[in-house]
Chain A
Amino acid sequence: MVPPPFLILTARLPRDPHLKYEADPSQDGPEVDDLLDAELVDAIRKDFPILDRKMREDQRLVYLDNAATSQRPTQVVEAMRRYQQESNANVHRGIHQLAEEATETYEQAHADVAAFVGAEGMECVAFTKNTTEAINLVAQGWGLTNLEPEDAILVTELEHHANLVPWQQVADRTGAELRHVALTDDGRLDRASFHDQLDEDVALLAVSQVSNVLGTVNPVEAMTEAAHDVDARVLVDAAQSVPHMPVDVGEIGCDWLTFSGHKMLGPTGIGVLAGRREALEETEPLLFGGEMIRRVTKDEAEWAEMPWCFEAGTPPMTEAVGLSQAIDYVERIGREAIHEHSRELAARCQRRLEEVGCEVYGPAPEHRSALVSFNVPGIHPHDLASIIDDDGVAIRAGHHCAMPLMDHLGVAATARASFYIYNTEEDIDVLVNGIERAEEVMSVEEDGR
């Protein structure tokens, strides 16, 4: 029998070097390498006070909107609070103890992220506001300055608007051609379409590792290799993969990798651009001003070294502390275990939804990550979301910032349930019961229209 799993996560709170906190080795928990067991999930849930709040008329919160943003554990909130109240100062500026501590903490956060996603070092990790800004940094800092009318940009039909609209802009402004990898009927990237379009003209491939609508896990490693064979650069949008599965820039081999803190237990206001050194060296800053310079004269300036050249202005210091702590939390559970857990929930949810007659979009469970998009016949997803909101169930309904993908599916909108470490099978039961109740609420004699 393992020690109470509750201790595994809650006991080892801060990890901030300046707070001189030493983890108590007697509280080390077991290595979790399989499904998250019920006891561990219970322990995890205790770290998320929001899961205890009562919704509407006293219902338990069933939070199934994790792909939009995850909840944050006490450890993350507490680390940020302590930083604010005990160590706050501006980084890279003052010559005083607080500034020194703040700078060290902030730089350490880059190192933590680098280790987390297998980047070469902290100079290969820049903090941005979110995934969207990280992609824009590459689109403007590399795309606009490197692409020409004879070049092509290859994206896919399942991209989030964040990984589509910036490339539309680059195509517009540089004259480069924008191409789209088509999808198979079950919502995977069409291999033939990919290879057909990946010719010598392609200078950039921008692809998400996991679709935020279909949950499809894309073979980004193989795609990167193929793209590099034609000398194209590769950006991988890892916003939906980093929270769940092991992601390693080196293993994928991609040039840039982007994700957001807020979808992986971290705070809002911080995102990451990580990448290969040479690709980052080719990338111009997006923002100019203080913090990103080495020397400035009246007429010109020289950029600071990476990654600081990408981080103009006072950076998200508190958020960096939170992100670091979120990484720590995720690593303690283990991303393999997290992925198994959320995939298993998604697979069960898919099965249950199909059993009750829902239309489920996207691939079979073996190609799917932690979410399920679906529609209940005859019920608009917004009506469904409104009705099951009464049961305390939070799902997403809409186009999920992927309008071209909605066109492909031939629907205006879908409902989406997305899972994370604190979700349970009972959450799926509540969802399915809610769907059945919605069908009752919405039922009325139809006389043909």
Chain B
Amino acid sequence: MSDSGSSMYRQDILEHYKNPDNFGTLEPHTLAHNGENPLCGDTLEITLNLGDDGTIEAARFEGQGCAISQAATDILLGRIEEMEADEVLSMDEDQLLDVLGIDVSPLRVKCACLPLVTVQDGIEIHRGTMDPVDVTRTED
């Protein structure tokens, strides 16, 4: 039995949704990449600045969508600042959900994971280890 729907909407999550810390666009930026969740219509435009040593110096997003996707983005971007890009690439769904600290109901996991896969694709495309795509989409 999954956890109840409302328990995802804790005040701190809603705080990130309504008053995000990392909203905006970095100019200039090292890389920009977009994410989209076709099922919900969530969209993200993420910009990152990478240091020469591969650390993430700054991360910002603009976007629209459900509270889970937008709050998850704000929380994740706050967390990855100062992290090694390699570390971010190695993060998986479980680690992301740990960072969020809420029980995301199974049908909404895609919303929560959108920022992670978008950031990861953005880094890989920037490094040339992945073929460029305009936008990262979660499958529905």
Chain A residues within CB distance 8 Å of chain B: 56-57, 380, 382-383, 385-390, 398-399, 406, 411-413, 441-447, 449
Measured between beta carbons, the chain B residues less than 8 angstroms from A411 are 41
A389-B5, A412-B64 are known; give 15 further A-B pairs, CB within 8 A: A56-B4, A382-B68, A383-B9, A383-B66, A386-B9, A386-B107, A388-B5, A389-B4, A411-B41, A412-B40, A412-B41, A412-B43, A442-B14, A444-B11, A445-B19
**Contact call A387/B64, Cβ cutoff below 8 A:** no
Q: Nearest CB to that of B70 among chain A residues?
A: A380
**Contact call B67/A399, Cβ cutoff below 8 A:** no
Which of these, B23, B41, B67, contacts A413 with CB under 8 Å? B41
- Minimum C-beta distance from B35 to chain A (A): 14
**Contact call A449/B18, Cβ cutoff below 8 A:** yes
A417–B41 Cα gap in the complex (Å)? 19
| Residue from A406, A444, A445 with most neighbouring chain B CB atoms (10 Å) | A444
**Contact call A449/B20, Cβ cutoff below 8 A:** yes
Q: Nearest CB to that of A444 among chain B residues?
A: B14
**Contact call B19/A441, Cβ cutoff below 8 A:** no
Is chain A's interface secondary structure helix, strand, loop, or mixed overall?
Answer: loop
Which of these, B6, B43, B65, contacts A386 with CB under 8 Å? B6
**Contact call B5/A387, Cβ cutoff below 8 A:** yes
**Contact call B40/A380, Cβ cutoff below 8 A:** yes
| Chain B count of residues within 8 A CB distance of the other chain | 29
**Contact call A399/B4, Cβ cutoff below 8 A:** no
Measured between beta carbons, the chain B residues less than 8 angstroms from A398 are 39-40
Measured between beta carbons, the chain B residues less than 8 angstroms from A57 are 4
**Contact call B19/A382, Cβ cutoff below 8 A:** no
A195–B111 Cα gap in the complex (Å)? 42
**Contact call B18/A444, Cβ cutoff below 8 A:** yes
| Residue from B5, B67, B68 with most neighbouring chain A CB atoms (10 Å) | B5
Measured between beta carbons, the chain B residues less than 8 angstroms from A413 are 40-41
A399–B5 Cα gap in the complex (Å)? 20
Q: Nearest CB to that of A414 among chain B residues?
A: B41
- Could you show 24 A-B contacts with beta carbons less than 8 Å apart? A56-B4, A57-B4, A382-B40, A382-B111, A386-B6, A386-B8, A386-B108, A387-B9, A388-B5, A390-B4, A398-B39, A399-B39, A406-B41, A412-B41, A412-B42, A412-B64, A441-B6, A442-B9, A444-B11, A444-B19, A446-B18, A447-B19, A449-B18, A449-B19
Interface status of B93 (Cβ within 8 A of chain A): no
A413–B136 Cα gap in the complex (Å)? 19
Q: Nearest CB to that of B20 among chain A residues?
A: A449
What does the 1/0 interface line of B6-36 toward A look like (CB < 8 Å)? 1011010011011110010000000000000
Measured between beta carbons, the chain A residues less than 8 angstroms from B19 are 444-447, 449
A445–B23 Cα gap in the complex (Å)? 17
Measured between beta carbons, the chain A residues less than 8 angstroms from B15 are 444
**Contact call B67/A383, Cβ cutoff below 8 A:** yes
What does the 1/0 interface line of B104-140 toward A look like (CB < 8 Å)? 0101100100000000000000000000000000000
- Minimum C-beta distance from B39 to chain A (A): 6
Q: Nearest CB to that of A397 among chain B residues?
A: B40
- Minimum C-beta distance from A400 to chain B (A): 11
**Contact call B18/A399, Cβ cutoff below 8 A:** no
A411–B65 Cα gap in the complex (Å)? 10
Report, nearest first, the 5 A-B pairs whose CB atoms are least far apart: A412-B41, A386-B5, A380-B66, A389-B5, A444-B14
